[in-house]
Amino acid sequence: MAGVASGEAACNSARQTGGVTDALAAELSAAMAPDRVRSGPLELTLYRRDASLLEGQPGVVCFPSTTDEVQAAVTIARRHGRAVVPRGSGTGLAGGAVPVGVDGAEPVVIVTTKMDRVLEIDADARVAWVQPGVLNLDLSRQVAHLGLHFAPDPSSQQSCSVGGNVANNSGGPHCLAYGVTSAHVLALEVVLPDGSLALLGDLDPEPPGYDLRGAFVGSEGTMGIAVRIAVRLSPDPPAVRTVLVDFASIETAASTVTGIIAAGLVPAALEMMDARITSAVEDYVHAGFPRDAAAVLLVELDGLPAGVEAATQIVADVAAANGARGVRVAADEAERALLWKGRKSAFGAIARIAPDYYLHDTVVPRTRLVEVLSEVYEIAARHRLLVVNVFHAGDGNLHPLLVFDRREPGVMARVLAAGTDMIAACVAVGGVLSGEHGIGLEKRDHMGLIFSDDDLDAQRRLRLAFDPEQACNPHKVLPSGSGCGDLQSVPAGAWI
Amino acid sequence: MRLAVADEDLSACVSCGLCLPHCPTYRVTGEESASPRGRIAAMRATHATDAPAGPEFAEFMDLCVQCRGCEVACPSSVPFGRLMEGARATLARETAYQPRRRRMGYAVLGHHRLLLLASSAAAVLQRLHLVPARLGLPRLPLRRPRLRPGDTAGPGGRPIGTAGPGGRPIGTAGPGGRPIGTAGPGGRPIGTAGVGGRPPEPDAWLFTGCVMDAWMRPTHAAALRVMHATGARVALPGPGGDCCGALHVHAGLRRQAEALARRVMASMPGDAHVVVDSAGCGAALKDYGALLGTAEARRFSDRVLDVHEWLAARAGRLPAARRRLTGPVAVQDPCHLRHVQQAHQHVRTVLAPYADLVELGDDGLCCGAGGAYAGIHPAMAQEIRARKVAAIAATGAPVVASANPGCIVHLAGAGLDVRHPVDIIAWSLDGG
Ligand SMILES: Cc1cc2nc3c(=O)[nH]c(=O)nc-3n(C[C@H](O)[C@H](O)[C@H](O)COP(=O)(O)OP(=O)(O)OC[C@H]3O[C@@H](n4cnc5c(N)ncnc54)[C@H](O)[C@@H]3O)c2cc1C
Ligand code: SF4
Ligand code: SF4
C-alpha cells in the first residue's frame, strides 16, 4: 500500500507525530508493547470524541493491560510535559474522554479497554474486584449464575466500562431504588497523576478517616485512573413486574409519576418517554410501544411476589385515576427485556429523527416536572429546534435532547443557545446540572450557575490535592480561569 | 477520497457506541479502529478530504469481518454492510487494496471446473502432507458424490426431469453424467429445452455454489434428501449457477460480483423458490436486487429462501425422526443468517423435532469465519473463534449445528463436531 498515501497525508502525519511525540511514543512503546501505542493520524482521529458532540485531539493513544503499564504511561507522559486523559468505552455524553491538552501539547489518551478482566468474585460477601475496562453488562452476566448483579444500569450498560461508571458516578433506570454507582463501589486502587499507586477505601463498610473513595467516584478522570475496583454485587430480586402505561398528554404522565411516589411506592425504575422518542424506539425494537401516545411511563416493581402484585395494582390504579389510556403488564421475561431494550436504545435511535443530538442531564424537583417540561418544549420552539424527552422521571432527572443536523448552517449556535436556556430554566426551579452523565467538558462552564465561587474554589482545592499540576484530564469539570460566573465557550483545541 | 457511499448513510451514526460489544474485532482488541463506530468515523474522515486514502484506512476496513452484528445492534439502523461494501469498492477501484494474487483467487471461484480441479489437487497434496497447516484448510475431499435429485428422492418426491417425455434428470444425463456446473457432453441444464421438450418447472431450485460444492457436496445431498421428503420436486441450477459472488462483494470487486449475479439468475429461471443451504450465499442472492438495481434482480431476490426458511413453511410434511442424536446440539447462528437474513429462528423450528437444542449465551457474536476472512486474517479469526468455542463449551453440547459452510469449516478447525442442520435431519430421517 505504500505509495497510496499522498505527500500531503504523509506531511500531516509528520506534523502530528513528529518531534516530541516520536520520542514519547518510543518510550511508551518500550514500556508496554509497540502494538499498544498508536500515533497514526487516522487512528488518532478516532479518539477525538466520545458519544458527545465535542472533539479534541490526542497526541498518542495507548492501551495498557496492567497496573504497571498504566503507571508507566502516566509517568512517561508527565516527563514529556503531556497531560493524560483516561478513557473507557467512550460512551460518555459530556465530553469527559475528549482529549484536551495543556499548553498546546496534545495529551496522551490512556484507554482501559484491554484491562477487561473480572479478577475475583466473593459470592458470600457479594463483592467483586474488577479491572476498569470490564463492561457493565458483562460484569452482571458473569455473576448471574450466582443470583447476583451489578446494580447501576446506565442505558449504555452493554457498552460502557465500570471504570467510566465510577468516574462519572453513573446512574441508570434502576438507580431510583438502588442508588447510583457510588453506593456500589467499596474500594478503588488508583494510579495518581504523579504515577504512584493508592488504595482508596476498603472492604470494611465504615473505614476510618476521610472517604477518599467517595471523593474519587464522580471525579471524571481528574484525580487519577482507577485500575482495580471493588464493586458491591446485589442479589437479584425474587419477583419483578414491568408495566407500560400509555398517556394522551405529558401532564397526565407527570402527575402519575408524582402520584406513584405519593402513594408510598419506590419503584425499581420509573422512566418517561415522549411521543417522538417512543415512535423512534418502536421503529427499532417493535415491542408494541403505542405510537400515538403523547407520553409513556415504564414502571418496574420488584421485591417479594405478594408485594410486587400489590404494588402493580397501585400503579394501575394511580394511572387510571390520572387518566391513563392503557396499562400493559409485561407477560414474561422476554417481553420485559424487549420493553427495556426499547428504553435503553432511546439515545441511539435518535438518528431516525435527525443525525445529531445535544443532550442535557439536569435534575429538577419532581413536583416541578410538568412546568419544566413545558418550558423545555417552548425553548426549543423559540430556537426553531426539535426537542425530545426521555428520562428518569422517578428522580426528576431530565434528558432533553435537541436533535438536529449539524450540516445545516447556523444550527450549532441555536443548539447551544437553547441548551443554555434549558439549563437556566432547570436551575431556576432549584435543579442541578448533571444527574449522572457528568460535567466533563460540555457542562463545565455552566458550573457557575449552581455553585458559588467559594464552592468552586473548594472543589478546585480538592482536585489539586490529587492532581497539583492539573495534568490529569485537564479542563474538565471545573471552569477554567477565575471568573467562574461568566460563561466561557469550550477551551481552545476542542470544538463542537 | 470520495467513497462510494451515501452521505445520509454516513451521517446516520450518532457515535453512541451501543454497537461496540456486538463487534467481534472490537471484542478482541478493544480498539476504536476495529469497531463499527471507529470504522464509520474513519470513513467519514476519509470521505471528507480529497487526499487519497492511506494504508491505515485500508487496514481498518480490511480487519472488519463484515458479519454485520453491528447493524442489528444499532438503534439508528446505520446500514453498515452497505457502507463497508462501498468503502471497499472504492479501495479496490482506486488503490492497490486487492493485490493481483487475491484478485486471481476470487476470479477462480467463478470457474467451477477449475475450482473443483484445484480443490481435488489440493486434497491430494494434503494427503501427501505437502500443504502447510498454517493455511488452515480443512481436510478436503478427494472425491465428491454426484448430486442426483432423482436418486435421493424420498417417498413422494418426484425427481425433476423424469416427468416429461424426453426430460432428463439434471446432472445424470446420459452416460458419464457429471455433477452440475461442469456440463459435459450430454449434460443439460434444467429449463433449457432438452431433446423432445421442456421439463416442467420445479417446485424449488437448490443453489449449490462454488466452494461449498467443492468441499461439502454431501451437505447438498442431505438438503436434497430433506427437501424431497416434503414431496417437492427440486432442480439444480444450470451452467453459471455456481458462484454467488458474495466474496467478491465483500472484497469490493463489484463488477465481478455483478457478472456472477447475472449468471446465477439465468441459471435458475422461472418463478420457483431459489433455496440456499449456505447462509452466506443466501444473503448474497437476496441482495441481488440492491446489487444490480433492476426489477428483474429484485424479482429474483424475492424468490430466494434459506433452506430452513423454506423447510419451516413445510415442516408439517416432514416425516418423524427415525433416530436421534444422544446429546444436545448447540445452535450456532451464522451471521449472514441471523444478522443479515434474520432467518435464524427457522433453524430451530426445523431442527427441534430431530434434536435437543441448546442456545449459546453470546448474543450471536460472530465466530470469525467471515467468508475468505479466516484465510486473510487467520490470527484475528482464531482469536474471535476462541470466544465462540468458549460459549459452545459452556453449553456442554457435543455437537454444534451451523447453517453456513464457512462457519462449519472454521469451527471444525478448532476440533469441534460441527454439522449442517440438514445433515442432522437427513441422518435422522434415514434411520439406523
Ligand atoms: C446511549 C447512551 C445511554 C446512556 N445512558 C446513561 C444512563 O442511563 N446513565 C448514565 O449515567 N450515563 C449514561 N450514558 C453516559 C455514559 O455511558 C456513562 O457516563 C458511562 O459511565 C461512561 O462510561 P465509559 O466507559 O464509556 O466512559 P468514557 O466515556 O470513556 O469516560 C467517561 C469519563 O470517565 C473517565 N474515565 C474512564 N475510565 C476511567 C478510569 N478507569 N479511571 C478514571 N477515569 C476514567 C474519562 O476520563 C471520562 O471523563 C449513556 C450514554 C449513551 C451513549
Ligand atoms: S453505528 Fe449505530 S450503534 Fe454504532 S455508534 Fe453509530 S449510531 Fe451508535
Ligand atoms: S461488520 Fe462485524 S466486524 Fe465489521 S464492524 Fe460490524 S460488527 Fe464489527
What DSSP letter does each residue of A432-455 carry, written as one string? BSBSSS--TTTTGGGHHHHS-HHH
Distance in Å, CA A160 to ligand 1 centroid: 6
pLDDT tens profile A57-78: 999 999 999 999 999 999 999 9
Q: Are B43 and B109 in contact (CB under 8 A)?
A: no
Distance from CA of A74 to the nearest CA of B (A): 20
The answer to whether residues A55 and A90 touch, using CB atoms and an 8 Å cutoff, is no
Cβ pair A37, A28 in contact under 8 A: yes
pLDDT confidence of A209, banded at 50, 70, 90? confident
User: The domain that contains B404 carries what CATH number?
Assistant: 3.40.50
Amino acid identity at B367? C
Question: pLDDT: is A18 or A257 the higher one?
Answer: A257
Pocket test for ligand 2, best of B10, B16, B22 (most atoms within 8 A of CB): B16
What is the reported pLDDT for B140?
Answer: 81
Q: Domain A7-114+456-466 - what CATH class?
A: alpha beta
Stated as kind and residue range, the H or E segment containing A37 is strand A37-38
Q: Write down the pLDDT at residue B135.
A: 66
Confidence of residue B52 (pLDDT cuts 50, 70, 90): confident
How far apart CA A153 and CA A136 sit, in angstroms, is: 7
- Range of B400's domain? 319-430
Q: Nearest CA to CA, how far is B256 from chain A (Å)?
A: 22
Q: Which of the pair, B188 or A22, is modelled with greater confidence?
A: A22
Q: What are phi and psi of A32, to 5 degrees?
A: -120, -105
- Residues A179 and B38: their CA atoms lie apart, in Å, by 33
The yes-or-no verdict on residue A281 having pLDDT over 90 is yes
DSSP designation for A227: E
CA angle B430, B205, B428 (to 5 degrees): 15
Q: What is the pLDDT of residues B125-155, one digit of tens each?
A: 777 777 777 666 777 887 888 887 654 433 3
State the pLDDT at residue A6. 35
- The lowest-confidence range among A62-76, A218-232, A262-276, B106-120 is B106-120
For residue B224, tell me if it sits in a domain.
Answer: no
Contact between A193 and A205 (Cβ < 8 Å):
no
Query: Looking at this protein, which amino acid is placed at residue B190?
Result: I
Give the closest of A2, A50, A351 to B12, CB-based: A351
User: Reduced to 3 states, what is the DSSP secondary structure of residue A230?
Assistant: strand
User: What residues of chain B lie within 8 A of the CB of A138, using their CB?
Assistant: 21
- Provide the CA A71 distance to its chain's centre, in angstroms: 25
| Total number of domains in chain B | 2
Q: How many A from CA of B63 to the centre of ligand 1?
A: 27
Taking CA atoms only, the protein residue closest to ligand 1 atom 2 is A156
The pLDDT mean for chain B works out to 86
d(CA A156, ligand 3 centre) in Å:
19
User: How many beta carbons lie within 10 A of that of residue B297, not counting itself?
Assistant: 20
Q: Is A260 helix (H, G, I), strand (E, B) or coil?
A: helix
Last residue of a domain, one of B97, B130, B160: B97
For domain A239-348, the question of CATH label 3.30.70.2190 is answered with: yes
Q: Is the pLDDT of residue B71 over 80?
A: yes
Residue B233 lies in a domain: no
Distance CA B89, CA B81 (A): 12
CB atoms within 10 A of CB B239: 17
Distance of CA A391 to the CA centre of its chain: 13
Q: What radius of gyration, in Å, describes the C-alpha atoms of chain A? A: 23
Query: A–B: how many Cβ contacts below 8 A?
Result: 127
The helix (run of H) or strand (run of E) holding residue A411 is: helix A411-428
CATH code, domain carrying B58: 1.10.1060.10
Cβ of A355 within 8 Å of Cβ of B56? The answer is: no
* Ligand 3 close to Cβ of residue B68 (< 6 A): yes
Burial A397-419 (b: 16+ CB within 10 A, else e): bbbbbbbbeeeeeebbebbbebb
| Residue B99, burial from CB neighbour count under 10 angstroms (0-12, 13-18, 19+) | exposed
Pick from A130, A147, A129, A125: nearest CA to A204: A125
> Of the residues B80, B88, B335, B387, which should be mutated to test ligand 3's pocket, given the most ligand atoms within 8 Å of the CB?
B80
CA distance B300 to chain A (A): 28
Please report whether residue B120 resides in a domain: no
Q: Which of B69, B97, B125 is the last residue of a domain?
A: B97
Residue A271 host element (H or E): strand A269-274
Does A482 have pLDDT greater than 50?
Answer: no
Report the pLDDT averaged over residues A302-327: 95
The single residue listed with the C-alpha cell 449434460 is: B187
CB A230 within 8 A of CB A187: yes
Distance CA B77, CA B12 (A): 8
Helices B55-62 and B36-47: crossing angle, nearest 10°?
A: 150
Q: Which residue has the higher pLDDT, B122 or A409?
A: A409
Q: Has residue B277 been placed in a domain?
A: no
Please tell me the predicted confidence (pLDDT) of residue B185: 35
Domain ranges of chain A: 7-114+456-466, 239-348, 354-428
Tell me whether domains A7-114+456-466 and A239-348 share a fold: no
CB count, 10 Å around CB of A57?
A: 18
Q: Quick one: A482 exposed, middle or buried, by C-beta within 10 A (0-12, 13-18, 19+)?
A: exposed
Q: Is residue B68 part of a domain?
A: yes
Range with the poorest average pLDDT among A4-8, A171-175, A207-211, B8-12: A4-8
pLDDT attached to residue A50: 95
Distance of alpha carbon B173 from the chain centroid: 28
Question: pTM to 2 decimals?
Answer: 0.89
Cβ(A277)–Cβ(A389) under 8 Å? yes
Average pLDDT rounded to a whole number, residues A381-399:
90
DSSP state letter for A106 = P
Secondary structure, 3-state, chain B: CCCCCCHHHHHCCCCCCCCHHHCHHHHHHCCHHHCHHHHHHHHHHHHCCCCCCCHHHHHHHHCCCCCCHHHHHCCCCCCHHHHHHHHHHHHHHHCCCCCHHHHHHHHHHCCHHHHHHHHHHHHHHHHCCCCCHHHCCCCCCCCCCCCCCCCCCCCCCCCCCCCCCCCCCCCCCCCCCCCCCCCCCCCCCCCCCECCECCCCCCEEEECCCHHHHHCHHHHHHHHHHHHHCCCCEECCCCCCCCCCHHHHHHCCHHHHHHHHHHHHHHCCCCCEEEECCHHHHHHHHCHHHHHCCHHHHHHHHHEEEHHHHHHCCHHHCCCCCCCCCCCEEEECCHHHHHHCCCCHHHHHHHHHHCCEEECCCCCCCCCCCCCHHHHCHHHHHHHHHHHHHHHHHHCCCEEEECCHHHHHHHHCCCCEEECHHHHHHHHHHCC
pLDDT at A433: 74
How many residues in chain B? 432
> What pLDDT, on a 0 to 100 scale, did the predictor assign at position B431?
78
pLDDT number for residue A439 = 78
Quickly tell me which residue has 457510588 as its cell: A182
Within 124-183 of B, beta carbons closer than 8 Å to A belong to none
Is residue A11 classed as helix, strand or coil in its secondary structure?
helix
pLDDT value, residue B173: 31
Torsions phi, psi for B156 (to 5 deg) = 85, -15
CA distances A56 to A479, B197, B372, Å, are 17, 73, 37
CATH code given to domain A354-428: 3.30.70.2740
Using DSSP, state whether A306 is helix, strand or coil. helix
Cβ atoms B372, B247 nearer than 8 A: yes
Q: Is A81 in the pocket of ligand 2 (CB under 6 A)?
A: no
> Taking the mean position of all CA atoms in its chain, how far away is CA A443?
13
How close B76 comes to chain A (CA, Å)? 4
pLDDT band at A491 (very low <50, low <70, confident <90, very high): very low
Helix (H, G, I), strand (E, B) or coil at A402: strand
Least confident of A146-150, A224-228, A354-358, B406-410: A354-358
State the Cα–Cα distance between residues B228 and A136, nearest whole angstrom.
49
- Residue A84 pairs with which residues in a beta bridge? A108, A472
Last residue of a domain, which of B51, B80, B97?
Answer: B97
Contact between A50 and B361 using a beta-carbon 8 Å cutoff: no
Give the pLDDT confidence of B206-230 residue by residue, as tens digits: 999 988 888 889 999 999 999 999 9
pLDDT in tens, B342-374: 999 999 999 999 999 999 999 999 999 998 899
| A19, amino acid identity | G
Give residue-wise pLDDT tens across range B162-207: 333 333 333 333 333 333 333 333 333 443 433 445 567 899 999 9
Q: How far is the CA of B410 from the centre of ligand 1 (A)?
A: 36
Task: Reply yes or no on whether the pLDDT at A13 is more than 70.
Answer: no
Question: How many whole angstroms from A442 Cα to the centroid of ligand 3?
Answer: 30
Task: Report how far residue B310's alpha carbon sits from residue A154's, in angstroms, rounded to the nearest whole number.
Answer: 41
What H or E segment, with its residue span, contains residue A400? strand A400-404
* Other residues' Cβ atoms within 10 Å of the Cβ of residue B104: 10
Q: ipTM of the assembly?
A: 0.89
| Residue A435: per-residue pLDDT | 67
- Of A380, A356, A4, give the one whose Cα is nearest residue B99: A4
More confidently predicted of A170 and A360: A170
Average pLDDT over residues A5-19: 37
Say how far apart CA A23 and CA A32 lie, in whole Å: 14
CB atoms within 10 A of CB B163: 11
Asked if pLDDT for residue B335 goes beyond 80, the answer is: yes
Q: Are strands A118-122 and A127-130 parallel, antiparallel or unpaired?
A: antiparallel
Residue B158 inside a domain? The answer is no
Residue A477: strand, helix, or coil: coil
